[in-house]
Amino acid sequence: MKNTAIIHDDPAYTASEAASILGLPVATLKAWCFGQGYQPSSGNRRMVQPVIRPADSKARLLSFTNLCELHVLSAIRRTHRIPLPKIRNSVAWLSTKIGSDKPLIDYQFKTNGLDLFVEHASRLFNASRQGQEAMRGDFELALERIERNKSGAPIRLFPFSRSSNSSSNQPRTVVIDPRLSFGRPVLARVAVPTEIINDRFNAGDSLAEMAEDYGVGKEEIEEALRFEQRRAA
């Protein structure tokens, strides 16, 4: 069922829901989007500023656009564990270079900003040449999973459904599309919410039964279940 329920910048996801979709720790996502307070050994409590500008900071809600930004950031977090202040400084630098308030998903970043960002981020955490190449691969893989319209704006996101980022085992079976099922994860070919597939499986329905009901392959049902199991981990 298709529902044109949200547009790309509407506040539609809680921090917990977004973290679950992207396979990120909730605390990490909240720090990236809303900042992080800390108490130094001496002096007053301080605040580390966020990296992402949330759709609704007061209500602490995120948009589909925010999901795409977080998806790109999480690609290097999985491997490189770059500290939040360094990520924020890199994004600010890239924003100045490109002239965009959302540089990580700006079309210019996809076409000619990647090398600039990798070079700058690598300098920040003193990576070797091999480290730079690894970062470039992580970002390219993440960017390839964002589908854009003719003007270059993100319209669909294929989140990682498995714990590994390797392109050899990351099918595009699950998609986030603001036009489908209120922007919740669905099977890409038939727009069936992965949550429904998981509920049916837990109730005793077999993979074969669901594959026949929805007109998809068993491997697509398996991938939806794998995605939901990763979310629940």
Q: What is the CATH number of domain 167-233?
A: 1.10.10.10
Q: How confident is the model at residue 189 (pLDDT cuts 50, 70, 90)?
A: very high
**Confidence band of 1 (pLDDT split at 50, 70, 90):** very low
For the stretch 113-158, pLDDT in tens is 888 888 787 765 544 455 577 788 888 888 999 999 998 889 999 9
What does the domain layout of the chain look like in residue ranges?
Answer: 167-233
Q: pTM value?
A: 0.87
Query: How large a percentage of the chain has pLDDT more than 70?
Result: 90
Q: Terminus-to-terminus CA distance in the chain, angstroms?
A: 28
pLDDT > 60? residue 3 = no
